[in-house]
A and B are shown apart, each in its own frame.
Chain A
Amino acid sequence: MPVLRSRVIPPTKPEIEPLKHPANKIEPATPARTWDTTRPASSGDDDGGDAGRKRKLDVSENLLGLEGGDREGFLNLRSGKKVIKRIGETDGGNSVDGKEKEKGKEKMDFEEVRMLREVSKDGVDVDKLDIKQNADGSCNEKRRRRFGREEKGKAKLIDEHSTVNGSEFINLDLELGTKHSEENVGSVSEPRKEQRVDKKSSVRLSESRMEQFRDIARQNASKFAYFNVEENHLSDDNERLVVADGEVEREIEDWPGPFSTAMKIVRDREKKLNGGQRIGSLDPKKKSNSSILWIPRKGQRQGPKLIIPSLKELSMKILVQNADAITSLEHVPDALRHKLSFMLCDSRQMNSHFLNLLFSGSPTEIRLRDCSWLTEQEFTKAFVSCDTKNLTVLQLDRCGRCMPDYILLSTLASSLNSLPSLTTLSICGACRISDVGFKALVTSAPALRSINLSQCSLLSSTSVDILADKLGSFIQELYINDCQSLNAMLILPALRKLKHLEVLSVAGIETVTDEFVRGFVYACGHNMKELILTDCVKLTDFSLKVIAETCPRLCTLDLSNLYKLTDFGIGYLANGCQAIQTLKLCRNAFSDEAIAAFLETAGEPLKELSLNNVRKVADNTALSLAKRSNKLVNLDLSWCRNLSDEALGLIVDSCLSLRMLKLFGCSQITNAFLDGHSNPDVQIIGLKMSPVLEHIKLQLCPSSPRVNLEKSLFSMGACRREL
Chain B
Amino acid sequence: MKKEDTVKLISAEGFEFVISKEAAMVSQTIRNMLTSPGGFAETEHGEVTFPEISTTILEKICQYFYWSLQYSRGKETDFHIEPELTLELMMAANYLHT
Contact indicator A322/B86 (Cβ below 8 Å): yes
Contact indicator B86/A315 (Cβ below 8 Å): yes
State A319–B89 Cα separation when bound (angstroms). Answer: 10
Contact indicator B83/A325 (Cβ below 8 Å): yes
Most chain B CB within 10 A, of A309, A315, A332, is at A315
State A335–B61 Cα separation when bound (angstroms). Answer: 21
Contact indicator B91/A333 (Cβ below 8 Å): yes
Q: Assess whether A318 is interfacial by the CB under 8 Å rule.
A: yes
Contact indicator B87/A319 (Cβ below 8 Å): yes
Please name all residues of chain A whose beta carbon is closer than 8 Å to the beta carbon of B94 when the two chains form the complex: 312, 333, 335-336
Q: Which residue of A lies closest to B70 (CB)?
A: A308
Q: Given that A315-B89, A336-B91 are contacting pairs, would A310 and B98 also be in contact in the complex, using a CB cutoff of 8 Å?
A: yes
Q: Which residue of A lies closest to B61 (CB)?
A: A311
Please name all residues of chain A whose beta carbon is closer than 8 Å to the beta carbon of B86 when the two chains form the complex: 315-316, 318-319, 322
Interface of B is mostly: helix
Q: Given that A306-B72, A318-B81, A336-B94 are contacting pairs, would A311 and B64 also be in contact in the complex, using a CB cutoff of 8 Å?
A: yes
Contact indicator B68/A308 (Cβ below 8 Å): yes
Contact indicator A312/B90 (Cβ below 8 Å): yes
Q: Assess whether B71 is interfacial by the CB under 8 Å rule.
A: yes
Contact indicator B79/A322 (Cβ below 8 Å): no
Among candidates B81, B87, B91, B96, residue contacting A314 with C-beta atoms closer than 8 Å: B81
Please name all residues of chain A whose beta carbon is closer than 8 Å to the beta carbon of B18 when the two chains form the complex: none
A321 smallest CB distance to B (angstroms): 8
Mark out the residues of chain A between 311 and 348 whose CB falls within 8 Å of any chain B CB in the assembled complex: 311-312, 314-316, 318-319, 322, 325-326, 331-333, 335-336
Please name all residues of chain B whose beta carbon is closer than 8 Å to the beta carbon of A325 when the two chains form the complex: 83
Mark out the residues of chain B between 59 and 95 whose CB falls within 8 Å of any chain A CB in the assembled complex: 61, 64, 68, 71-72, 79, 81, 83, 85-87, 89-91, 93-94
Q: Which residue of A lies closest to B65 (CB)?
A: A311
State A309–B83 Cα separation when bound (angstroms). Answer: 17
Q: Which residue of B lies closest to A340 (CB)?
A: B90
Q: Which residue of B lies closest to A311 (CB)?
A: B93
A396 smallest CB distance to B (angstroms): 24
B56 smallest CB distance to A (angstroms): 13
Among candidates B68, B71, B72, B93, residue contacting A315 with C-beta atoms closer than 8 Å: B93
Q: Which residue of B lies closest to A319 (CB)?
A: B86
Please name all residues of chain B whose beta carbon is closer than 8 Å to the beta carbon of A311 when the two chains form the complex: 61, 64, 89, 93, 96, 98
Q: Which residue of A lies closest to B52 (CB)?
A: A331
Contact indicator B87/A332 (Cβ below 8 Å): yes
Contact indicator A326/B89 (Cβ below 8 Å): no
Mark out the residues of chain A between 248 and 264 whose CB falls within 8 Å of any chain B CB in the assembled complex: none
Contact indicator B91/A319 (Cβ below 8 Å): no
Q: Which residue of A lies closest to B84 (CB)?
A: A325
Q: Which residue of B lies closest to A327 (CB)?
A: B87
Q: Given that A312-B98, A325-B83 are contacting pairs, would A319 and B90 also be in contact in the complex, using a CB cutoff of 8 Å?
A: yes
Add 19 more A-B contacts to A309-B71, A314-B64, A315-B93 (CB < 8 A).
Answer: A306-B72, A308-B68, A310-B93, A310-B98, A311-B89, A312-B93, A312-B94, A314-B79, A315-B85, A315-B86, A315-B87, A318-B83, A319-B86, A319-B87, A322-B83, A325-B83, A331-B91, A332-B91, A333-B94
Interface residues of A (CB under 8 A from B): 306, 308-312, 314-316, 318-319, 322, 325-326, 331-333, 335-336
Query: What are 18 sample pairs from A and B whose C-beta atoms fall under 8 A apart?
Result: A308-B71, A308-B72, A310-B98, A311-B93, A312-B93, A312-B94, A314-B64, A314-B79, A315-B81, A315-B87, A315-B89, A316-B90, A319-B87, A322-B83, A325-B83, A333-B94, A336-B90, A336-B94
